[in-house]
Chain A
Amino acid sequence: MGVNRIFPGGGAAGQARPGISLLSRLRAWGPIVALVVLFVGFAVVDPTFASLQNLQTLANRSAVPLILAVGMTFVILQGSIDLSVEGVMAVSSLTFGMVVLNSRTGLDLGLLGFPIGIAAGTAFGLLSGLIVTKLRVPSFMVTLGVWSASLGVAMLLSGGSPPIIRDHTLRAFGLGYFLGVPQLFIVSVVVLILAWGVQNHTRFGRYSYVIGGGEDIARLSGLPVDRYKILVFALAGLLSGLGGTMESARIGLGHVDIGLGQMFAAITAVVIGGTSLSGGRGGVLQSAVGVLILAVLANGMIFVGISPFVQKSVQGVIILVAILGATWHLRDRMRIVK
């Protein structure tokens, strides 16, 4: 998070040993504490907040954001950003909606719709990665462009009449429960666990930390940095695609606005969870906590009866407070924030 110090030896550099003290451990637990406090708080005000039915609602709301946050986490770990999420989701959603049994085309590929929709998303992620690395344009600009471009492709596919999905198996998958748990949420948790393994135990995961921590050092060490950067955007595209198809299966529609508001929510979740926007620090589990905080917050406000007209503002204030709390210990007069 852009933490530079003008004064070396002013505490952080030499003597202090971060990551060991009790205090710094507490800090790592901060987001979890916040999540628990929020949850308990809402449950106290209205016990039905903790009912099975509402827990299922929470799981449903978190399923797709979790997947998106995982992809975003890897991108941000590498010190890049992906603003194309919503466009890529839209392309995947429409691709998916138009190859399964639907109101627009004669196709009926069934489950094959998932890999096809996801492939469409991956292709756009790959495109972002290639432009970032080969043409050396900052990811912020590239993904902004790809967002718009992919949204345009989705609109073209949609042609004003979104395909209605009529495949009952797919709908059943999107809406169904297994042992009381929404099936989409199970998919998200599986993705999260896989991502956690990838993050901690594979070259791609570890090199993401290396690249985010110091791309110049990574290059000097002879690492194929570009390969991993392309890979991370492709992964983000893949997961945006997965999110888009899952959401489509749930609402039964291939739609341009399928990802509306998801990109910003994903970045917020990643940051609230404690992943540094400047790269190199954080992880997918932290982001998952961030996603849950946002879900509990949005859902809980309805329970405690906060007017829908002010919910957005309240949410914004709470997010700011959360981030303030998470970064409070970094405050220093000489800290450079950008």
Chain B
Amino acid sequence: MTAPVLRVEGLSKAFPGLKALDDVSMEIRPHEVVGLVGENGAGKSTLLKVLAGLYAPDSGRILVRAEEVRLKSVAHAAENGVGMVFQEQSLLPNITVAENIMLGHEDDAIRYGVYDWPKLFGLARAQLAKVGSTIDPSAQTDSLSFGERQVVELAKVLTLEERTRHEPVILLDEPTSVLEAEEVEMVLRQIRRLRERASVVFISHRLDEVLEVADRVYVMTGGRCVAERDRASCNVAELQELMLGHELSDEYGRRAQDRPALAGEARLSLRDLSSGHHFRNISFDVRRSEILGIAGVGGSGREEVCRAIFGARDFEAGEIRLDGKPVRFADPSEAVASGVSFLPSERRTEGIIGGLSVRENMTLAHLSSIMRGPFIDRSKEKQLARRWIDRLSIKTRDAETQVGLLSGGNQQKVALTKWLIADNPKIFILDHPMRGLDVGAKAEIFGLIRDVSKAGIGIVLIADTLDELIALSDTIIVMRDGVITGRFDSRDTPPTQLQILEHMI
């Protein structure tokens, strides 16, 4: 067996009220791709951040090439050949690709204090060539797609090769979570290529993806490293079981008989809704308790349609009816007042306000229900928060905990609660409600969405994956290039993914 390039022994790290890492030991060997899987809050990101020099561990040892090191900073980790691509992309949009790649290491391209641009572009091109990319290094970074930016991140982290004498260890925190299908494939291809020149640790929630690329997989739960598997000897089901500690019998199991009967008038009707080239002649109904899923690739117009319903963008022609009455919201506050709610896909920045408490996040959109005269009735507010924490079994120390400290699934529950406490919620628009959640949290949010719909609320759903969409929706419409190209009744005879895909592309 080859000696590991990176080895951690008994690593622990605690945050206030949370043991993020608990006696973690693992090793990464040369030219190896190691997958790191686990539920949200299992400690995966924390582990990578410790290895990248961002957090100091409370105890335990880190050995780089058999030498113990104390990583003081990101720069120090880089000196040791360890580099990380963060979950939130860390490229600056307002400078060139070359500047991003060479940031902080431009010395060779500066002569007498002046940038030698051709030289800088050349250096960057050489890094891009390592990942087989032909992205123009002089391009402004915000002109790239997210997938291309991810490739630039990889090229950037590979500058470690020139800066250290060693082959680098590259840490990737969910490099594919925000990408569309074809871009995911491109990034995975890059990770495979990296194996020739580096060791890679990568986190992903897509277990099939991990098994496709990784040589070995570590499974973490609750801050502990609970299992190590070779790719050859394991499968998705086993990983899921290890992550959860129990087998998921029927992951998204939903049968028609569990679903309430769809009866009565439509809660939400769209008739020939059009807006320039973004979407044209969109018509559909959402009845009480119905979950309507919209399938489509990026640019299909489905996000724009949802924005139009919510009043976040205008439309040119057509009609929206809410419980039979025509509506046209000038802005989202009118939509909220009428019982239309929106759960944005960017949970961390748009769904919750991380610095505020669970209580404050829950009530911020509907303060009127807890006002006494001009003042907020604090005890009533607390009561309300506690009630919802119990009802949705939100895992938090108490109602005063900052939402930013909760795990992703629990953050999502808080974001949903914000809309559930409305007096008369009618329509929920859910934009990627399961994005970035692990299997367990997904299943919980799944159940929650169904419960919400049972209360008579109509739901418009944009999901991350087609199997989620199929499992959750009563009706599925497919959009392509701004028009509806397919409709499926998903209640009794759900369509296959292929059937939907045919109408998407």
Contact = CB atoms under 8 A, between A and B. Distances in A.
Interface string B100-112: 0001101000100
B365 to A, nearest CB: 14
Contacts, number: 95
A214 B140 CA distance: 15
A11 B345 CA distance: 15
A218 B115 CA distance: 18
Given A7-B303, A222-B78, A333-B331, A203 B99 contact: no
Contact of B312 (A14, A197, A281, A333): A333
A20 B143 contact: yes
Contacts of A281: 94
Interface string A1-43: 0000011111000110111100000000000000000000000
Nearest to B114: A201
Contact of A209 (B54, B94, B146, B298): B94
Nearest to A200: B115
Most buried by B among A17, A203, A212, A222: A222
Contact of B113 (A202, A217, A333): A202
Contact of A14 (B93, B114, B117, B298): B298
Interface in A193-221: 197, 200-203, 206, 209-210, 212-214, 217-218, 220-221
Interface residues of B, number: 42
A16 to B, nearest CB: 9
Contact of B332 (A8, A9, A15, A333): A333
Contacts of B142: 18-19
A77 to B, nearest CB: 10
Contacts of A202: 113-115
A206 B313 contact: no
Contact of A8 (B91, B103, B346): B346
A213 B313 contact: no
A6 B298 contact: no
Interface string B304-332: 10010001111000000000000000011
A332 B74 CA distance: 38
Nearest to B86: A220
Nearest to A6: B350
B90 interface: yes
A213 B312 contact: no
A223 B103 CA distance: 8
Interface string B335-360: 00000000011100010000000000
A280 interface: yes
A7 B306 CA distance: 10
B93 A213 contact: yes
B75 interface: yes
Contacts of B94: 209, 212-213, 280-281
A238 to B, nearest CB: 17
A146 to B, nearest CB: 28
A14 B75 CA distance: 31
Interface in A222-253: 222-223
A202 B298 CA distance: 39
B106 A203 contact: yes
Contacts of A15: 298-299
B237 interface: no
Contacts of A203: 106, 110, 113, 115
B73 interface: yes
B205 to A, nearest CB: 19
B383 interface: no
A197 to B, nearest CB: 8
Contact of B74 (A206, A222, A280): A222
Contacts of A217: 90-92
B376 interface: no
A156 interface: no
Contacts of A206: 95, 99, 106, 115
A268 to B, nearest CB: 22
Nearest to A14: B298
A8 B92 CA distance: 17
A205 to B, nearest CB: 9
A10 to B, nearest CB: 6
B143 A18 contact: yes
B113 to A, nearest CB: 6
Interface in B448-498: none
Contacts of A213: 92-95
Most buried by A among B74, B92, B140, B304: B92
Given A14-B146, A209-B95, A7 B344 contact: yes
Contact of A221 (B104, B298, B314, B344): B104
A304 interface: no
B145 interface: yes
Contacts of A20: 143
A332 B304 CA distance: 13
A334 interface: yes
A222 B298 contact: no
B142 to A, nearest CB: 6
19 contacts: A6-B312, A7-B303, A7-B312, A9-B298, A10-B307, A14-B145, A15-B298, A18-B140, A19-B143, A197-B114, A202-B115, A210-B103, A212-B94, A214-B92, A220-B54, A222-B74, A333-B312, A333-B313, A333-B314
Given A10-B307, A203-B113, A217-B92, 14 more contacts: A6-B312, A7-B307, A19-B142, A203-B110, A206-B106, A206-B115, A213-B92, A213-B94, A217-B90, A221-B74, A221-B104, A281-B94, A333-B312, A334-B307
